[in-house]
């Protein structure tokens, strides 16, 4: 009972004689004692260190021995083994290879046992092995498909098995489109949606349902459509949104994750969820006391504002932008990262009014600080933000020249430190502007000093064979600078040629990246055409 609590002294149980006593109890002739000892061991597997300590003391072998015992012993053993290998590739592989695969074969056999709890625990154990160490045992695909059919049926089982089956389903299909498609065919979404509409669901079951739906809808449009379109009363959708205000932190996170997956379906979400119903409760979570919930909410917001113009409007009205900007200044790097990511998506294909509102509130100084953030991932998102800021009209491009071109200078300095595709795309978008904008980029791409021409930074990007996206961005920049219809194109091409750009492009005509190859062809055609002017 004590070890059901997160406050239980797990580390203290694994020290000295206590561990040995607990392991000896697994061999007790009293079935109740052996069962409870196995469950306590399972609750002690909170970290990799805990798991390894139990295995080093012989815990895995003793649990495997219990698999051949009575129903209660084997179920306790399955519970213990599932906890022992969870998120641990090394121990998963060790269990799979143990005794020439005999324990693993026994666990696989239990998937089709007549007792629901045994089937559930066997599925949970195998799901943990597969997720930690994919393809570590033969015929894994067939076995996981079989597990999937079993766990979907167990969703409707009463009691603890039904309550815990959704989270195991989520683990089985995680990051696997083929298994997600198989679950769709097994009507997993229909069953989960029906469960979601029940009143007073246990917290653990609600969290599992939301996480399972999040996984099932993360990649497949047909899954998202099934959940959104086949919910005439919108009861399931209402339950997902309602969960945003649930007392449990883990449920709030799961709800955000589910909304993130559903918001990848632009058409469906726009037509089924009203702006206020979705955006207002999501916005409130940006101020949640838990940083974990805040990060999950930011991740959902990033998707919601990406291509939902009505949602962007509501987001402004409810003060969401101000909250994002405040979080972009957080000391927590994960909050900063996800806040900047959301702001970046807010600017995607945004009109000039939205861009002006965001940059005026964010301020140029904050943006330049984010471009030079200590965390590389924050730097990358800040550069992507600038890329979206300057995309489109000449007025959009002009914004990086505010305050003595502070934003452009920050981007160029960052590109001198590291090769960043997003930074090169910023230059490319600026180069698509007017003549003054193109010349500003030229001063970086083909720099000139009193001693003569300096090596071109863009040449370094074109030569980087480790990053196709960087080469694509660099060629786009050259194309925009050499656009034939712009007045100064002839002069710029001459300067680019002197900097060795054309010679490098000629070496790239057979680039292994098709996108690079196509862009290079266009760029060289522009160079050739302007040479004859």
Q: What is the mean pLDDT of residues 179-191?
A: 94
Q: In whole angstroms, what is the distance from residue 497 CA to residue 505 CA?
A: 10
Whole-number pLDDT of residue 314: 75
Q: Specify the pLDDT at position 276.
A: 65
Q: Taking residues 72-88, what's their average pLDDT?
A: 92
DSSP-based three-state secondary structure for 487:
coil
Rg of the chain taking only CA atoms, in angstroms:
29
The mean per-residue pLDDT over the stretch 318-325 comes to 88
pTM of the model: 0.88
Q: What pLDDT was estimated at residue 35?
A: 86
Angle at the Cα of 216 (from 236 to 196), degrees rounded to 5?
A: 25
pLDDT higher than 90, residue 11: no
Mean pLDDT check: name the lowest of 110-114, 275-279, 378-382, 439-443: 275-279
Residue written as token pair 């007792």 = 115
- The pLDDT of residue 462 is 95
Note the pLDDT of residue 163: 95
Mean pLDDT, the chain, integer: 90
What is the rounded CA–CA span in Å between residue 109 and residue 444?
Answer: 66
| C-alpha–C-alpha distance, residues 291 and 304, integer Å | 20
User: pLDDT by residue (tens digit) across 362-415?
Assistant: 999 999 999 999 999 999 999 999 999 999 999 999 999 999 999 999 999 999
Q: How confident is the model over 434-452, as pLDDT tens digits?
A: 999 999 999 999 887 656 5
Residue 64 has pLDDT above 70, yes or no: yes
How high is the pLDDT of residue 452? 56
* pLDDT at residue 491 is higher than 90: yes
Residue 474 has pLDDT above 60, yes or no: yes
Of residues 73 and 471, which shows the higher confidence score?
A: 471
Task: Taking residues 114-130, report their average pLDDT.
Answer: 94
For residues 508 and 361, give the distance between their C-alpha atoms in angstroms, rounded to a whole number: 43
Q: What is the DSSP string of 436-473?
A: HHHHHHHHHHS-EETTEEPPPHHHHHHT-TT-HHHHHH
Tokens coding 425:
């795309």
Mean pLDDT of 71-82: 92
Q: What are the tens digits of pLDDT across the range 506-532?
A: 999 999 999 999 999 999 999 998 776
Q: How far is CA 307 from CA 13, 225, 313, 373, 380, in A?
A: 52, 18, 12, 27, 21
What the block records as the tokens of 341 is 């990511």
Rounded mean pLDDT, 326-330: 95
HSE on the CB side for 435, CA within 13 Å? 9
* Residue 4 binned pLDDT confidence (cut-offs 50, 70, 90): confident
Please state, in angstroms and rounded to a whole number, the distance separating the CA atoms of residues 117 and 259: 31
Above pLDDT 90, what percent of the chain?
67
Q: What is the pLDDT of residue 40?
A: 86
């Amino acid at each position: 009972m004590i070890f059901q609590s997160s406050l239980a002294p797990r580390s203290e149980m694994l020290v000295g004689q206590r561990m040995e006593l607990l392991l000896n109890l697994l061999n007790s002739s009293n079935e109740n004692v052996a069962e409870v000892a196995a469950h306590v061991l399972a609750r002690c597997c909170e970290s990799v260190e805990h798991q390894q300590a139990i295995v080093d003391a012989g815990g895995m072998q003793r649990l495997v021995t219990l698999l051949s015992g009575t129903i209660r012993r084997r179920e306790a053993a399955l519970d213990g083994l599932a906890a022992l290998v969870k998120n641990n590739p090394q121990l998963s592989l060790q269990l799979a290879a143990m005794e020439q695969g005999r324990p693993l074969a026994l666990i696989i056999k239990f998937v089709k046992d007549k007792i629901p709890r045994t089937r559930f625990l066997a599925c949970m154990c195998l799901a943990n092995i597969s997720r930690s160490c994919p393809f570590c045992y033969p015929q894994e695909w067939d076995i996981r498909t079989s597990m999937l059919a079993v766990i979907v049926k167990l969703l409707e089982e009463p009691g603890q098995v039904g309550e815990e089956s959704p989270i195991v389903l989520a683990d089985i299909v995680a990051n696997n489109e083929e298994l997600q498609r198989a679950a769709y065919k097994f009507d997993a979404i229909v069953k989960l949606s029906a469960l979601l509409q029940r009143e007073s669901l246990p917290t653990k079951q609600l969290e599992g349902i939301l996480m399972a739906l999040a996984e099932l809808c993360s990649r497949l449009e047909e899954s998202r459509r099934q959940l959104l379109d086949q919910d005439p009363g919108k009861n399931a959708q209402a339950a997902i949104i309602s969960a945003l205000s649930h007392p449990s932190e883990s449920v709030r996170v799961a709800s955000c994750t589910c909304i993130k997956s559903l918001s990848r379906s632009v058409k469906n979400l726009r037509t089924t969820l009203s702006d206020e119903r979705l955006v207002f409760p999501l916005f409130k979570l940006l101020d949640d006391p838990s940083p974990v919930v805040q990060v999950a909410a930011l991740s959902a917001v990033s998707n919601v504002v990406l291509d939902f113009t009505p949602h962007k409007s509501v987001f402004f009205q409810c003060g969401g932008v101000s909250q994002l900007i405040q979080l972009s200044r957080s000391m927590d790097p994960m909050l900063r990262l996800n806040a900047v990511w959301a702001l970046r998506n807010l600017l995607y294909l945004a009109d000039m009014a939205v861009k002006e509102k965001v940059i005026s509130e964010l301020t140029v100084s904050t943006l330049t600080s984010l471009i030079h953030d200590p965390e590389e991932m924050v730097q990358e998102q800040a550069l992507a933000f600038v890329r979206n800021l300057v995309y489109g009209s000449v007025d959009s491009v002009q914004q990086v020249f505010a305050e003595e071109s502070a934003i452009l200078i920050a981007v160029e300095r960052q590109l001198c430190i590291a090769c960043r595709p997003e930074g090169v795309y910023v230059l490319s978008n600026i180069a698509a502007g007017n003549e003054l904008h193109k010349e500003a980029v030229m001063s970086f791409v083909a720099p000139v000093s009193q001693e003569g021409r300096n090596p071109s930074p863009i040449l370094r990007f074109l030569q980087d064979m480790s990053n196709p996206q960087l080469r694509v961005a660099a060629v786009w920049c050259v194309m925009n600078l050499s656009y034939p219809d712009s007045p100064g194109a002839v002069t710029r091409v001459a300067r680019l040629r002197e900097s060795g750009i054309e010679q490098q492009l000629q070496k790239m005509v057979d680039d292994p990246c098709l996108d690079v190859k196509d862009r290079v062809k266009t760029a060289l055609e522009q160079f050739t055409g302007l040479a004859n002017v």
